[in-house]
C-alpha cells in the first residue's frame, strides 16, 4: 500500500521520511517529489509499505503531526496519472 504525504517541509529528506514511517511497519520505499528542473521539494511525498495494516497505522498516527516544522497530512496515494504526449 502507498501513502501520500502532503504539506511537507522543503527540508524533509527520504531518509527522514523512511525513519519516521518505518516506526509503524516495513517501508519499501520513499519518494519525495522534486521539481523536475530545480530539484526543489514540491512539498509532498510518497511512502510505500509492504503491509496495508502498517500503512493504515502510520496514516492514522502521522496525519496531522508536525514534522520538521510543518504539519503533515497523510492519506492513501491516488494512482499516478499518465503523462500527456504533446509537444510540451
| Residues making contact with DNA (CB under 7 A) | 2, 4, 6-10, 29, 31, 33-34, 36, 42-44, 46, 48, 70, 73, 75, 77-83, 85-88
Q: Are 47 and 75 in contact (CB under 8 A)?
A: no
What single-letter DSSP state applies at residue 79?
A: P
Give min distance, CB of 11 to DNA, in A.
8
What distance in Å separates the CA atoms of residue 13 and residue 45, rounded to the nearest whole number?
A: 10
| Phi, psi for residue 19 in degrees, rounded to 5 | -65, -40
Give min distance, CB of 84 to DNA, in A.
7
Give min distance, CB of 22 to DNA, in A.
15
Amino acid at each position: 500500500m502507498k501513502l501520500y504525504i502532503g504539506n511537507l517541509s522543503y527540508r524533509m529528506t527520504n531518509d527522514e521520511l523512511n525513519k519516521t514511517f518505518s516506526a509503524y511497519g516495513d517501508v519499501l520505499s520513499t519518494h519525495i517529489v522534486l521539481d523536475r528542473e530545480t530539484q526543489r521539494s514540491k512539498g509532498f511525498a510518497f511512502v510505500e509499505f509492504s503491509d496495508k495494516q502498517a500503512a493504515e497505522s502510520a496514516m492514522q498516527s502521522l496525519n496531522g503531526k508536525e514534522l520538521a516544522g510543518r504539519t503533515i497530512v497523510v492519506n492513501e496515494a491516488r494512482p499516478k496519472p499518465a503523462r500527456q504526449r504533446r509537444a510540451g
